[in-house]
Amino acid sequence: MAGTRKARVPMAEQIRLINECRQSGMTDADWCRENDIAVSTFYNWVRHYL
């Protein structure tokens, strides 16, 4: 279904997810794939909060 979007993730949750990824020992891309997060979205969060 084209045009469907996921709900916006709150700032505190974004920061928690960034920390979880970095502590996982996985590459960012692998972690994002497993957690169904677009890598571009993840790096936008990183750019804003770190």
Q: What's the pLDDT tens digit per position in 1-50?
A: 567 788 899 999 999 999 999 999 999 999 999 999 999 999 999 999 87
Domain that holds residue 30: 11-49
Structurally, the chain folds into a number of domains equal to 1
In a domain? residue 1: no
In a domain? residue 6: no
In a domain? residue 41: yes
| Residue whose structure tokens are 């084209």 | 2
pTM of the shown model: 0.85
Concatenated DSSP letters of 4-45: --PPPPPHHHHHHHHHHHHHH-S-HHHHHHHTT--HHHHHHH
On whether the CB atoms of residues 9 and 17 are closer than 8 A, the answer is: yes
Cβ neighbours around 21 below 10 Å, total:
21
